[in-house]
Amino acid sequence: MTIEVSPSFISDSLLDRDAFLTGLLNQVSASEKSGWVQQIKNDAVKWVRHSVIPNTRDEEWRFTDLSPLKEVSFNVGTIHELSLPDDFALPEVAHRLVFVNGVFAANLSDTENLPAGLKVGNLDVLDDDVAQEYLAQPFYFAQDKSEGTRDVFTALNTAGLNDVAVVLIGKNVVVENPIHLLFISVAGESAIISQPRCLVIAESNSQVSLIEEYVTGIGEYLTGKMPVPQEEQVYFNNSVTEIWVNENAQVNHNRIVLESNAAFHISKTAVTQARYSRYTCNTVTIGGKISRHNLEILQTGEQTETTLNGLTVIGDKQLADTHSAISLNHPHGVSKQLHKCIIGDRAHGVFNGKIFVPKPAQLTDAAQLNRNLLLSSKARVDTKPQLEITADNVKCAHGATVSQLEDDEIFYLQSRGIDETDARKLLVNAFAAEIINLIPVSSLREKLLKTVVALTSK
């Protein structure tokens, strides 16, 4: 049994026990907002001050050691007078929001000629009552027993709430072209922390495709100089994305993380699905010294469809951790999840997927599969697909596989005139393509496939 304790009832003697966390909090919470937004920030500050950075003694973090994160001193970074490289823009998208180090860059964004019923921008585009209804709800999800939602990193992001990427799709609005949410991290000679925030509201009977992309900035394009090589830039992205899929709405969410090899990326995606809604998430994670994605789905009505596809590609001594929790609380829900990992060198992959099917969720159809491809004898994966079922009339399955490239497959390709190196590339590319080909933007698919081939050919 889990007991939630509000920070207001905890002794002040337990405040600020974690010096590193207190330092981050002081960095990110300096800005003041007005009214209800400041109240949300204040509540989150209280929560953070009573918390500590998780360690490997915590069950949810036992394979993910954050000690390297705590060894770095981070500052809030700001970048001004930027230009956007052509290879950061996606020609297939009609509208784009750009944030640099967590700060909205209006001059790099494209929010003109929006169709009726679509709002794209920062928090200013929302009416105050709508913003209050939807913003920062993951911080309060604990009352709904949603697993892990009230974590310290979500609270830290809320404590530093400043700019928010907002997409609101009105009732019965169908957005034909994908919307691009681009978050650029640019670190100089000192390490920086940025806290991107997204709020997506799909009202009833609406449809939209989103590209949520995190990249490391190319300093020579953005600032006129490049003091630190792109692949060595040190920064900490602590992001939160809130997605509300209302009745009979459809959201195709494509989440791309392309971080520097020295970066830290910790993120929360919290999705609420009303009845008859359909949500798809295609996630590709490449790079990062340590990355962690907490993906949480809360079903609030019957007959929802949830599809989660993920691909992680890591090498060197990188660590990538994916935790998902799907709470199917109503009848006739359908959930399908496939998560793949390609792990090379001495890298470490982690997958923990939970699906909760309580007694009211009769006639649920849920499936979960984690497939892992190890490219070296030193690569490691810890995987735990998990079903918790109390309903008695359901169709549920879960599983995991861990394998290396098969010698007979390589031999077969060699017998067709393909040398061993190219045969290995072809097999790895086919393993990754099953996920990458689901992304609805061809230029992005091509870039990701080339990146995977380059990284796994070293």
Position 87 scores a pLDDT of: 80
Which pLDDT does position 3 carry in this prediction? 33
pTM, two decimals, is: 0.93
Report the pLDDT value the prediction gives residue 85, as an integer from 0 to 100: 79
Model confidence band, residue 5 (pLDDT cutoffs 50, 70, 90): very low
Distance (Å, whole) CA 7 – CA 23: 19
In 10 A of CB 282, how many CB atoms? 21
What pLDDT digit, counting tens, does each position of 359-380 carry?
Answer: 999 999 999 999 999 999 999 9
Reported confidence tier of residue 13, pLDDT bands at 50, 70, 90:
low
DSSP string, 194-219: E--EEEEEE-TT-EEEEEEEEEE--H
Say yes or no to pLDDT of 163 above 80.
yes
Cα–Cα distance measured from residue 269 to residue 242, given in angstroms and rounded to the nearest whole number: 6
Give the per-residue pLDDT at 422. 92
Q: Determine the straight-line distance between the first and last CA of the chain, rounded to whole angstroms.
A: 47
Backbone angles phi, psi at 98, to 5 degrees: -120, 130
β-pairing, 365-374 vs 334-343, is: parallel
Q: Answer yes or no: is pLDDT of 59 > 80.
A: yes
pLDDT tens-digit readout, 138-154:
544 443 444 444 689 99
Whether residue 203 is predicted with pLDDT greater than 80 in this model: the reply is yes
Q: Collapse the DSSP code of 24 into the 3-class scheme (helix H, G, I; strand E, B; otherwise coil) and give the result.
A: helix
Which residues is 166 bridged to in the sheet?
121, 199
How many angstroms separate the Cα of 214 from the Cα of each of 57, 181, 387, 416, 447? 30, 9, 31, 40, 14
pLDDT at 233: 84
Ramachandran region of residue 124, left (φ > 0), alpha (ψ -120 to 50) or beta? alpha
Work out the pLDDT band at 218, boundaries 50, 70, 90.
low
Over residues 325-338, the pLDDT tens digits come to: 999 999 999 999 99
The candidate with the shortest Cα–Cα distance to 156, out of 238, 74, 76, 38, is 238
Q: How far apart are CA 8 and CA 218, in angstroms?
A: 44
Beta-strand ranges (E) seen in 358-447 are 365-374, 380-389, 395-403
